[in-house]
Copies of this chain bind each other. A is one copy, B any other.
Amino acid sequence: MEKINGYIASNEQRFLDELFDLLRIPSVSADSKYAADVARAAEFIKNKLIEAGAENVEVCPTNGHPIVYGEKIIDPALPTVIVYGHYDVQPADPFELWTTPPFEPTVRDGKIYARGSCDDKGQMYMHIKAFEAMMKNDALTCNIRFMIEGEEECGSSHLGPWIMENKHRLKGDVILISDTSIIANDIPSLESGLRGLSYVEVEVTGPNRDLHSGVYGGAVANPIQALCEMIASLKDENQHITIPGFYDKVLELSKAEREEMARTPFNLDEYKKDLNVNDVRGEGGYSTLERTGIRPTVECNGIWGGYIGEGAKTVLPSKAFAKISMRLVPNQVSNEITTLFSDHFNRIAPAGIKVEVRPHHGGEPVVTPTDSVAFKAASMAMEETFGKKPIPTRGGGSIPIVALFEKELGLKSVLMGFGLDSDLIHSPNEHYGIFNFKKGIETIPLFFRNFAQLSK
């Protein structure tokens, strides 16, 4: 390991320069005007995998954005690790809230500021560089396969079909993913569960055209008002979700499990101070960590309708829209929840209002076993680099493909992320610590070593 760490230390600046080149490509998968950039990012990953020593590297076309595959099979008798990551990023708007432009990576206070710096280009690229370090020092202890996709931020809708067609080259023992967070740079942690997702877009129509609010106001259903009423009614005064059947399959944790969770370090005052809110708001009877870890939720991610320009316009609009997502927990099923939502939303529309619910994408919630060889290999690796045993946590976010891997490949995932919740992923000024980038590159080879040893 000393040789590897020496190699990492002496190549640090080059690793960063390469990451910066990748961050300069605005590979926003959700917006079709960036399609050429997404393709360019895929080519970039392909070339870097080849340079690092991967074989059979290919940019695999799909009906959406491509998946980059590469492998290094050193011995069929050794265990095989499949590294998953994504090279696409979230949209960067509102651009004006970025201190420095989102696609011109800039270092401030030891942090790399750029869209995708943490989610997931920075975390994914650690694996390519750790692989390079192992290859250049003859220290690769497992077979490795890379599967780096370009649609994670818009639903991974073409990954499933691609996996089904490529099962022959996806034989392995575990999926390794760095797309999650640790509690703090001095409090390492490992995700042991992820919420699922159901994401819909709703369109609410009142009159067949925009009306003058003076002439018609007070007499005709206003779709904005109706949409507000419908969204407001999704939660009761206890912040409990009112969609009939929504909680039917929610797995309640035992008292012992909740007590175990309550031992996770968490400071509510610091949390409120960090967000500058006078209080938190969530489901009655549950703590903040429980609200984000083991309880499902409904959030409106976007809303628009009527006149939103400068000044005043007295319009009673024809339509209003919202993007609404639900985070799911075991054993809720994404498709079922989408249907429950859609039926409910249509049912509660007031007179004079038509509703259309369009499903965007979804993913199933997962719980990863903490007693597996892979989890132990990750835990030991982090303990060695951080000097502290990582705390198992339940993350609030969703990586829908984790459930997909389990279903299609029969493989569990290890969620060994190195980000921080304060990295502003999906927000303006997303950043990733150089400390975290380096720590990841150092920890990954230890995972491979441990996994090979523990698998014997």
User: Does A256 touch B at the CB level, under 8 Å?
Assistant: no
Contact check: which of B296, B307, B350, B427 meets A209 at CB < 8 Å? B427
Do the beta carbons of B427 and A299 come within 8 Å of each other? no
How many chain A residues sit at the interface, stated as a range, is 35 or more
Nearest Cβ distance between residue A443 and chain B, in whole angstroms? Answer: 22
Q: Within the assembled complex, what's the spacing in Å between the Cα atoms of A218 and B322?
A: 18
Nearest Cβ distance between residue A333 and chain B, in whole angstroms? Answer: 18
Q: Which of A41-49, A65-73, A106-114, A275-283 is found at the contact surface with chain B?
A: A275-283
Contact of A426 with B229 at beta-carbon distance under 8 Å, contacts A292-B218, A303-B224 already known: no
Do the beta carbons of A302 and B310 come within 8 Å of each other? no
Contact check: which of B308, B314, B360 meets A426 at CB < 8 Å? B314
Q: Which of A138-146, A246-254, A391-399, A406-414 is found at the contact surface with chain B?
A: A391-399
Please name all residues of chain B whose beta carbon is closer than 8 Å to the beta carbon of A228 when the two chains form the complex: 227-229, 231-232, 300, 303
Do the beta carbons of A307 and B314 come within 8 Å of each other? no
User: Does A117 touch B at the CB level, under 8 Å?
Assistant: no
Contact check: which of B208, B288, B308, B317 meets A219 at CB < 8 Å? B288
Q: In the complex, what residue of chain B is closest to A119 when comparing beta carbons?
A: B212
Do the beta carbons of A312 and B325 come within 8 Å of each other? yes
Q: How many copies does the complex hold?
A: 2
Contact check: which of B231, B279, B291, B320 meets A351 at CB < 8 Å? B279
Please name all residues of chain B whose beta carbon is closer than 8 Å to the beta carbon of A97 when the two chains form the complex: 210
Nearest Cβ distance between residue A119 and chain B, in whole angstroms? Answer: 8
User: Does A26 touch B at the CB level, under 8 Å?
Assistant: no
Contact of A312 with B360 at beta-carbon distance under 8 Å, contacts A300-B224, A307-B301 already known: yes
Taking CB atoms and an 8 Å cut-off, the chain A residues in 287-315 that contact chain B are: 288, 291-292, 295-297, 299-315
User: Does A206 touch B at the CB level, under 8 Å?
Assistant: yes
Do the beta carbons of A426 and B313 come within 8 Å of each other? yes
Please name all residues of chain B whose beta carbon is closer than 8 Å to the beta carbon of A297 when the two chains form the complex: 217-218
User: Does A154 touch B at the CB level, under 8 Å?
Assistant: yes
Please name all residues of chain B whose beta carbon is closer than 8 Å to the beta carbon of A219 when the two chains form the complex: 280-282, 288, 291-292, 396
Q: Within the assembled complex, what's the spacing in Å between the Cα atoms of A99 and B22?
A: 44
19 contacts between A and B (CB under 8 A): A31-B311, A32-B310, A197-B214, A212-B425, A213-B299, A217-B292, A218-B282, A218-B396, A219-B282, A220-B277, A221-B279, A225-B232, A228-B232, A280-B351, A281-B352, A302-B305, A303-B304, A303-B308, A313-B426
Interface residues of A (CB under 8 A from B): 29-32, 90-91, 93, 97, 153-155, 181, 195, 197, 199, 201, 206-222, 224-225, 227-229, 231-233, 235, 275-283, 288, 291-292, 295-297, 299-317, 320-323, 325, 327, 350-352, 360-361, 395-398, 421, 424-429
